[in-house]
Amino acid sequence: MKKISNIEKQYITIVNDILDHKEFKKIKNITHHGLNRYDHSVRVSYYSYKIAKLFRLDSYEVARAGLLHDFFLVNNEVISVKEKMNTLVNHPKYAEAYASKYFILSDKERDIIRSHMFPISVVAVPKYAESWLVNVIDNAVSICEAFSSKKVYFLRMSNIMIIVLLNFLKL
Ligand SMILES: [Fe+2]
Ligand SMILES: [Fe+2]
């Protein structure tokens, strides 16, 4: 049996209430990058937390907001292409609203969640180093998940490029 490291213990202490929350557990049943949204959120949160500690950033807020960054219940598997595009751009707003319904969020945590899709979504530009960190880690984790889920990655990328272009042209 794998021994839990001190850093893992510290991390769990910070996010335990979220991981155990009935509403948050619902995202275990939602497919995300071919895997599930709960595991994706934990990965983004935990890797961001470790890097935040390394660079002496606000690791507490990074861990919590990283975990909540995709906390919304829209299931991409059952919606139209148009709705998918809308969700891709607007889900940071949905996640911020949903997370604030169940958890108390600081201004920095709100910014981390709201800006995590920049520049694909221009809902918000990251204001803090912690927001940039979660943004970059989310992208890296998402790319790895898309590859490991064996879905056609380039189709996804071309979708994203189209949305970026539409956003840029304000269409
Ligand atoms: Fe997201
Ligand atoms: Fe994400």
- DSSP, collapsed to helix, strand or coil, labels residue 51 as helix
Residue 36: beta bridge partners? 31
Average pLDDT of the residues of the chain: 89
Residues having C-beta closer than 5 Å to ion ligand 1 = 70
State the pTM of this model. 0.85
The mean pLDDT of 139-145, rounded to a whole number, is 90
CA torsion sign for 119, 120, 126, 131 is negative
68 Cα–ligand 2 center, Å = 9
CB atoms within 10 A of CB 145: 19
The mean pLDDT of 143-150, rounded to a whole number, is 77
Closest ligand to C-alpha of residue 116 is 1
Domains and CATH numbers, the chain: 6-168 (1.10.3210.10)
Interval 57-101: pLDDT, tens: 999 999 999 999 999 998 888 888 889 889 999 999 999 999 999
Residues having C-beta closer than 5 Å to ion ligand 2 = 70, 138
pLDDT at residue number 70? 98
Residues 6 or more apart whose CB falls under 8 angstroms from that of 101 comprise none
Interval 120-139: pLDDT, tens: 988 899 999 999 999 999 99
